[in-house]
Structure 1
Amino acid sequence: MAQSDTAACSIYAELLSNIRQVSVRATLLSPSDATTKAEILDDGRRIQIQHQGEVRSLDLPATVLVRSTIPIPENSSQDLAWRLPVLAAETQLTRFSAENQSIPWSSTDLKVGSSICCRHCNYNIVQRGRIKSWKDLPSENWAEMMEFWHCHKPHDHDHHDGENLSKRGYGANSAITAQPEVGFVDLTSFMFSESDCDGLSVSFYQRPPKLSAF
């Protein structure tokens, strides 16, 4: 996984070698519009995103088969996501692991009781001392990749693999839900119980209707 500089958009890319795909996510500072464009450059080795006059690019963790403009997902608002197929020869030669990828943080890196603040206004969303433990969230592709990694799922075994998964914040048969005084973290986001957060409001963005000229 890699991250671009913070600007009009942030880009993250993760190699899913078991299913021969690169998962790309981009977060825009404003909803996507007619100026938003994404394309694959350098013979499949780089992604470039344009948005409201700003251009950001990121080297991909593997060479992908796409060689042109990629469509902006409909109803994507500020979050864009793609799955890009990888060259078969590339996945055989390239092996990524948690040890050699640039991961911003995991649950073991975060201190118990740490506060969480907004990077724009510095308001403390989660007050210091409120979080008593941190847990890792699974990758968004975890359920899909289970089909490739396991001959038998954890719940098919008699031993206690499920207990280990539960300690990380998820299990084969359990839903992922927020828990009071527990902070969940993955590569790009945090999840907290509403009772642990202060000063938050929820807003919904609705795309304007498409207009046609006659």
Structure 2
Amino acid sequence: MTRVLNGYCGYLWASKFCGAFCTQQEELELPYELKKYQRNPDGSAPPELVAVSPLGKSPLITDGEVTLAESGAIIDYIIATYGNGRAVAKQSGYVDNLYFSHYAEGSLMPVLVLKFIFTVVPKKSPFFIRPFLGFVFGQLDKQLVQPQIVKHLRMIESHLEKSESIWFAGGEEPTAADYQMAFPLEAVMSEIPDFVVNSPHIKKYVETVQSRQVAVLLVVSKQTDS
């Protein structure tokens, strides 16, 4: 009997985990089932998700007796267990793959989350303090967050420009670094596109990632319809 990987994601992680998980499984030709759970209005996990993960966190996967959370750990586990040599960086790209697979959530995502918080909190606040919070958070964003985002994107653009291929580790196919970096760069392109106006290599990277995801979605759609 073929083992089926089960992927679980809540609404906050749906676009990230579903995209990376489905793309990875299809490219590695692994059978899988994706389960989405809508969180409660207060943001807490529904009972079905808590039954799988006591912390109610997502994304996570189950693989036989293994239950594993954290997207980076999930990606590494799948590559190590089922990759059969695929999605592994060549020796010359080992350090780049190692760095960017950790950098994505360790350095880049926290800055983007701050950008999100400083943008959303004033809009969600009571109307009588909204102008004040909008001004304060706007100044914090302008002085603290935006310069950091620019610095990060310059570094990423420079790396992709020097890469031997479209991928972060410079190989012929994506590695863990790409499955991790795809989401934050897609978020930048869709939410704050002005930051990448002069970043042709980032744009090309995201376009390549999205074209592969579209192909995966077509495969999933055909499987669902059959």
The TM-score normalised by the length of structure 1 is 0.34
Higher strand share: 1
Q: Which has the higher contact order (CA 8 A, sep 6+)?
A: 2
